[in-house]
Amino acid sequence: MRRVVITGMGAVTPLGVGVRPTWDAVLAGTSGVGPITRFDATGFSTTIAAEVKGFDPEDFIDRKEIKRMDPFIHYAMAAAHMAMEDAGLSIDAALAPRTGVYMGSGLGGLSTLERYHKAYLLEGGPRKISPFFIPMLISNLAPGHIAMRYGAKGPNITTTTACAASSHAMGEGMHAIRNGVCDVVISGGAEATVTPLGLGGFCSMKALSDRNDDPTHASRPFDKDRDGFVMGEGSAILVLEELEFARKRGAKIYAELCGYGASADAHHVTAPAPGGEGAVRAMAAAIADAGISPASVDYVNAHGTSTPYNDLYETMAIKTVFGERARSLPVSSTKSMTGHLLGAAGALEGMFCSLAIRDGVLPPTVNYTTPDPECDLDYVPNVPRRQPVRYALSNSFGFGGTNSVLLFRRFEE
């Protein structure tokens, strides 16, 4: 089997612009959540989010092009730039048709939709709709722009599977390399939905934390006092390469992507299947795909949204997959610091798994102060933990009952 390794990373997150500042903030237990500044959130039941801060698209994109892109594309272009530079990869004519771009986004250009709907209604009707409206809006223009910038002429694929989108994108990108379709895949996700409609929709579903007076403690996965997730935004992109191709060009290797599992709950529009039945099958499939046993997994980066049912059923699913060993298996949710990046969450958390493997350190679940008797695993509470990691599992679950799980391995010759 052709092996798939990670050779480059880039990130724009609520914790920083770049992989290093984001990872440093995670290991420091820093929260990226605060009052919403993008718009006046007065009147919404939730007025907090994990917004990207200190980001200037002009650092990565020509000023003229910036105006023709939605913010989710800005984030993706910046993360791709950092990932390609980190990988030290250039795409020549021979490599171009062997390079794919696989990206995930849950909602695409939501702020663009809001902007031009307002222009149509209030500012002059159809003549106020930009010719760039559709290319700014649709989710596949993030990988489209990335492919154009770097000359990647292989498959260009977008997954829109809600909060599992970028995890699915990475898994499918891994398959493209394994199956000989590609030698390189630029893969990840991007999201920019901290907008009035995005916030209002999740508020109406009563899915968000309304701990508005204490934003840094609002996202508290697995804690008894959790009351909903916190919206996040940003992008994470990883460069995947076939091992022999990476070796020949002398690429550095962070980790190996060795397993992928996907499933459907076929149960409910928003609620996970009781007991995490669908999650169980996806985790088991990823472990089997890697050709290992559950006993080999050293760490689980949980979906861990800080919602009552997700955290309970994910805990139950982990117990089903790992049996008695689940009690001693470290599990953490980095959403406690980043918020929930929706379609970009899986790629970001896959990045965290790869860095945990590289550095031998487990990121914490912060804000874990009141244990829930029904969520009774080792959630690496509040501070990081030094521990060697050979295999790390990353869970991503989305509305519609879609599940995606990735398995990462320490690279060994």
Query: Which residues are known catalytic residues?
Result: 163, 303, 340
Q: How far apart are CA 14 and CA 55, in angstroms?
A: 10
The alpha carbon dihedral of 307, 313, 316, 320 has a sign of negative
Q: How far apart are CA 134 and CA 157, in angstroms?
A: 18
Helices (H), 222-380: 243-248, 277-289, 308-322, 335-338, 345-359
Taking each helix axis from N to C end, the angle separating 345-359 and 165-178, rounded to the nearest 10 degrees, works out to 70
Instruction: Provide φ and ψ at 94, rounded to 5°.
Output: -75, -35
14: nearest Cα among 409, 338, 365: 338
CA dihedral 166, 171, 176, 180 (to 10 degrees): 150
